[in-house]
Amino acid sequence: MDWQGQKLAEQLMQILLLIAVVVAFVVGYTTASFRTMMLIYAGGVVLTSLITVPNWPLFNRHPLKWLDPSEAEKHPKPQAVVVSSKKKFSKKLVSVLKIIVSLISLNQMTTFCY
């Protein structure tokens, strides 16, 4: 069952059961028969389960389109560079330090000019 089929099955289930409830109650109340109400509702539950529980073709009309395996081979997944977080952090730190150092030297250079 595909995604849309699942959604459809759930909505169908709820709507059919609610219809069964309304029909059962109205018929039961008008015929003044509790038994009739229960039988209609039981019938509604059985019908709903026959419609929504098995994996009918109706629920498989939107299959997911996966890429062909050969297509995937043509475009190999880029290898993720394994970098530990500690390393990353030190790298960042180094770059920040570099910037600071360059700023300081720039400052010195300007003072020197004066």
Partner 1 sequence: MHTFGYRANALLTFAVTALAFICAIASFSDKFSNQNPSAEIQILNINRFQKKSHGNDEVSLTLDIAADLQSLFTWNTKQVFVFIAAEYETPKNALNQVSLWDAIIPTKEHAKFRIQTSNKYRFIDQGHNLRGKDFNLTLHWHVMPKTGKMFADKIVMSGYSLPDAYR
Closest CA to 11 of 47, 52, 39: 52
Single out the residue of 34, 62, 90, 91 in contact with partner 1 (rule: CB under 8 A): 34
Our finding on whether 27 is near partner 1 (CB under 8 A) is: no
77 phi and psi angles, rounded to 5 deg: -65, 130
Is residue 6 at the binding interface for partner 1, with CB under 8 A as the rule?
A: yes
Does position 33 interact with partner 1 (CB under 8 A)? The reply is yes
Question: Crossing angle, helix 3-30 and helix 34-52, to 10 degrees?
Answer: 170
Binding status of residue 26 toward partner 1 by CB under 8 A: no
Q: How far is the CB of 56 from partner 1 (least distance, A)?
A: 11
Beta strands in the chain (DSSP E): none
Give the end-to-end CA distance of the chain in Å, rounded to a whole number.
78
CB contact set of 48 (below 8 Å; sequence gap of 6+): 12, 13, 16, 17, 20
60 binds partner 1 (CB under 8 A): no
The answer to whether residue 105 forms part of the interface with partner 1 (CB under 8 A) is no
**Interface residues with partner 1 (CB under 8 A)?**
1, 6-7, 9-10, 13-14, 17-18, 20-21, 24-25, 28-29, 32-34, 37, 41, 45, 48-49, 52-55
